[in-house]
Every structure is written in structure tokens, then in C-alpha cells.
């Protein structure tokens, strides 16, 4: 949510930003919110003036009565009654107008960074750089579900009976490999000075609306029937929500957390669920990172954060690339974002395994997170990034470490988490 002062002082900038995001249908919101803002400020000023005048007249009545000037006192009382009626009208109407303003402001997208490429959708995202050489072996790499199945590591049929489409059982060494990857991501982030957290896996609606847009919420979140609770789509939601309504000390910044959680997503729409494989599922596990920092430090943290994910995947012998998200692919709260994509030697193309975003002060404004500094209070900037998520990361790990005999080589960084095991071999 942007600052209303920015719209007052430079509405054309806000409109141009909306156009860059190809959301022209939102252009009327700018003028609408300005009109409501003026109405609210006028009502606030009128109410304040009336209350001050009412207090003045109330004090004057006592003096008039003491001086025996009953007629003037009665006239003052009549004025006070009129004022009280108008004050009551304002007190009733002003919160409604302010709520309208807030509702519209939450639909106006955050001002994107100047470096963001302009494009309509994810087809116009821009490759920035590659890390590691993408290779294709001279032997066939089967579909990931088939590889895992031959290692007795996957059971989607039983998951269909217990939970329906979009769920799965991971078993045996594959389940351990999944766990090893998450644990390695956790320990890597701890080595970078991040505090490990296991947050609540459900959050209230006021936290949901604080960390994401309404469109995202509707497309992603599962609501608990009969309760004001949603299953989280990522631990970022809980970790940022932890500071809702808090006044932090500037000396406490930056706040660096890395959180583990299961994640729950509807995965509806055009992409849909994957019938056999694990690319798109309703439930997965992820190690996430978040940073709350001073505005001037946000871009430095952004570049550090996505580079951490690159290093983690390179340490698991997986080639990756950084893909800059274009303006039309940015969610409304995001200032700048990039995806980290892993190489798929089977498909001979890259696919997303992580996403890094800086959201400016959008989340802190929505959640009321402020910082007390030497020069007054300010809204901090928030950032989030995927450390590693499974099964997406697991698919990349398996494909890039698959051997011709059907075995999976375990990267050295994961071997300590696998009890020293160096290879997963198909059982006869």
C-alpha cells in the first residue's frame, strides 16, 4: 500500500506506474481516492473546529450564567446542540469514508523500481545471468515421477485415496533426501546469520490482507471453515505477521529470519494440478527467508538474498539462472522481483524453484509495522525469498544427479544429512 501523500503530490506518477503494470482498469481509482481523501480531510477539519468551538462555548456558558445573561447562555446552548448533532454525523460518516479510502489504496499497486523491465506477463520476463553450465547427458532421463517410483519413493495413488488429487506420499530414501535438502537450506541460512523459526501454519485474515493482495489471497489461500484462520502458502506470511502493530527500535534492524513450514495452495486456474508428477501440488514444504530493514538497505539485501539461493543450488550440483520479473508479472505489493530457475536436463529448459522480492513499505504500512529512529518513526521495508522448496527443488536435484543405471548421486553437502549415504540405488 503506497503513501496517500504520494498520490496527493504526484498522481501522474501513480497513474503511469499503473499503466506500466498493464492495469489500466485501475486508473480511475486514483482520482476516486483523491476525491474521498479530500472529503475525509474536510470532514476531519470541520469536526475538529466544531469540537474546539463547542468546548469554548461550554466554558462561556458558565460565565454568562454567572453574569445573569440567561438569554445569551440559552443561545450558546442551542448552538452547542446544533454542533453536537453535526459532530455526531461526522463521527459516523468519517470512518466509513476512511474505510473506503483504505480499500481503494490496497488495490493501487506499489511503485515499481526503475530497473524493472516493462512487459505484460511472465512470457516477457528477462534472463539476467546463468550459474553453472546446463548439460544434457547422452542417456535418457525419465520423467521425475518415474525415477522416484523406481526408487520406491512415491505413492500418489494412496494419497489420492486419503486426500484427493494434488497430494502425495514420499517414502524411504527419497523422503530422507527431501528432508536433507530442507535441513541443508536451514543450516546454510543460519550460517549467514539468519534466526531459525518455525512459525504458526495458520494466520488470521488481517494478517493475510497485510502480506498479500486480495487477488493473490483468493487464488492461493485455503480458509478454515467457520473460523477466522487461513492455511499459510509460505512461512513469510507468519514471519512478517509476527511484527503486526509493533514499534521496532532502529537498533533492532535488520530483522533476519529463516522459517520452515509446510505450505498449502489451491493451485487452480490455467496451470492446474499435475496428474502424475510433483510440479504443481496442494501441499509442499519450504525453507523461506525474510528481512525487515531500513529503506536504504533494501536493495543490498535483495541482491544478497537471491544470491544465497543460487549458491545453495550450485552446492547441490544444479545449474540455475536468474530471471528478472517484468512489470506485468509483479504482484501489486512488489517493488522488484526475480525468479531463480533450475535446469531440467530432461526437458532441456529451466523451471522456477524460488522467487525473491522486495516489497518496499507495502507490507509494513498494511500491518502497521513501524520503526522508531533518531529522526522520528518510519515504515521499514520487507523482503522475502525462497531458500529451497520441495518437491520443486527435489525434482531439480534428482534430474541433475541422475545416473544411467537409475541411481541418484547425493551431493556432498547433503551426505551428512543422509547418514553418509552417497547414492540412492534402485532396489531389485
The closest alpha carbon to 147, from 276, 273, 315, 286, belongs to 276
20 vs 28, 114, 322, 341, CA distance in Å?
15, 11, 22, 25
What is the DSSP code string of 59-97?
HHHHHHHHTT-HHHHHHHHHHHHHHHHHHHHHHHHHHHH
For 46, the 3-state DSSP assignment is helix
Domains detected in the chain: 4-105 (1.10.287.40), 122-424 (3.30.930.10)
Set of cell numbers at residue 333: 505489493
Set of cell numbers at residue 354: 524460488
Q: What is the value of pTM for the model shown?
A: 0.89
Burial class from Cβ neighbours inside 10 Å (0-12, 13-18, 19+) for residue 127 reads exposed
Report how far residue 34's alpha carbon sits from residue 40's, in angstroms, rounded to the nearest whole number.
Answer: 10
Specify the length of the chain in residues.
428
Query: What is the predicted pLDDT for the residue at 56?
Result: 87
Question: Residue 90's beta-bridge partner residues?
Answer: none
Report how far residue 224's alpha carbon sits from residue 201's, in angstroms, rounded to the nearest whole number.
Answer: 12
The residues, ordered by sequence, that sit 6+ positions from 73 with a Cβ below 8 Å of its Cβ are: 61, 64, 65
Mean pLDDT of each 10-residue bin along the chain, 428 residues long: 92 97 96 96 94 87 76 84 92 95 93 97 96 95 94 93 92 97 98 97 94 78 93 95 97 97 79 72 95 97 98 97 97 96 96 96 96 94 97 96 96 97 89
Instruction: Write phi, then psi, for 153 (nearest 5 degrees).
Output: -115, 0
98 vs 7, 18, 33, 187, 362, CA distance in Å?
15, 22, 10, 46, 18
Query: What is the predicted pLDDT for the residue at 268?
Result: 57
Question: Residue 358's beta-bridge partner residues?
Answer: 336, 383
Report how far residue 154's alpha carbon sits from residue 246's, in angstroms, rounded to the nearest whole number.
Answer: 44
Burial class from Cβ neighbours inside 10 Å (0-12, 13-18, 19+) for residue 403 reads middle
- Rg of the chain over Cα atoms, rounded to whole angstroms, equals 28
Query: What is the predicted pLDDT for the residue at 60?
Result: 84
Question: Residue 118's beta-bridge partner residues?
Answer: none
Place of cell 450564567: 65
Burial class from Cβ neighbours inside 10 Å (0-12, 13-18, 19+) for residue 38 reads exposed
Amino acid at each position: 500500500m503506497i503513501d496517500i501523500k504520494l498520490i496527493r503530490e504526484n498522481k501522474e506518477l501513480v497513474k503511469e506506474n499503473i499503466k506500466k503494470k498493464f492495469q489500466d482498469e485501475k486508473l480511475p481509482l486514483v482520482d476516486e481516492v483523491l476525491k474521498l481523501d479530500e472529503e475525509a480531510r474536510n470532514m476531519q477539519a470541520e469536526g475538529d473546529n466544531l469540537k474546539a468551538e463547542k468546548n469554548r462555548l461550554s466554558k462561556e456558558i458558565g460565565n454568562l450564567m454567572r453574569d445573569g445573561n440567561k438569554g445569551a447562555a440559552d443561545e450558546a446552548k442551542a448552538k452547542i446542540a446544533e454542533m453536537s448533532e453535526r459532530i455526531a454525523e461526522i463521527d459516523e460518516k468519517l470512518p466509513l469514508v476512511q474505510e473506503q479510502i483504505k480499500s481503494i489504496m490496497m488495490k493501487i499497486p506499489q511503485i515499481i523500481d526503475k530497473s524493472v523491465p516493462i512487459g505484460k506477463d511472465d512470457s516477457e520476463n528477462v534472463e539476467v545471468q546463468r550459474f553453472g553450465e546446463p548439460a544434457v547427458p547422452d542417456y535418457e532421463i525419465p520423467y521425475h515421477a518415474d525415477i522416484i517410483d523406481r526408487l520406491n519413493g512415491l505413492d500418489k495413488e494412496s494419497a489420492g485415496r486419503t486426500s484427493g488429487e494434488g497430494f502425495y506420499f514420499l517414502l524411504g530414501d527419497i523422503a530422507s533426501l527431501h528432508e536433507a535438502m530442507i535441513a541443508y537450506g536451514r543450516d546454510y541460512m543460519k550460517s549467514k546469520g539468519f534466526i531459525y523459526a518455525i512459525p504458526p501454519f495458520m494466520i488470521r485474515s488481517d494478517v493475510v490482507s497485510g502480506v498479500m493482495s486480495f487477488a493473490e489471497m483468493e487464488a492461493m489461500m485455503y480458509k478454515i471453515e467457520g473460523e477466522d484462520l487461513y492455511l499459510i502458502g509460505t512461512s513469510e506470511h507468519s514471519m512478517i505477521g509476527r511484527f503486526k502493530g509493533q514499534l521496532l527500535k532502529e537498533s533492532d534492524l535488520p530483522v533476519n529470519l529463516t522459517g520452515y513450514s509446510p505450505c498449502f495452495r489451491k493451485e487452480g486456474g490455467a496451470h492446474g494440478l499435475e496428474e502424475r508428477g510433483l510440479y504443481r501440488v496442494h501441499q509442499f514444504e519450504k525453507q523461506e527467508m525474510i528481512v525487515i530493514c531500513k529503506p536504504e538497505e533494501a536493495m543490498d539485501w535483495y541482491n544478497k538474498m537471491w544470491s544465497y539461493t543460487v549458491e545453495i543450488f550450485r552446492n547441490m550440483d544444479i545449474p540455475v539462472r536468474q530471471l528478472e520479473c517484468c512489470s506485468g508479472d509483479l504482484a501489486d505489493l512488489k517493488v522488484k522481483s526475480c525468479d531463480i530457475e533450475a535446469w531440467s536436463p530432461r526437458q532441456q529448459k529451466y523451471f522456477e524453484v524460488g522467487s525473491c522480492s522486495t516489497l518496499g513499505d507495502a507490507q509494513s504500512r498494511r500491518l502497521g509495522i513501524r520503526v522508531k529512529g533518531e529522526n522520528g518513526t518510519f515504515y521499514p521495508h520487507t523482503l522475502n525469498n525462497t531458500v529451497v522448496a520441495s518437491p520443486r527443488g527435489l525434482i531439480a536435484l534428482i534430474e541433475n544427479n541422475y545416473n544411467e543405471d537409475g541411481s541418484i548421486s547425493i551431493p556432498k553437502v547433503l551426505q551428512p544429512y543422509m547418514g553418509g549415504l552417497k547414492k540412492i540405488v534402485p532396489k531389485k
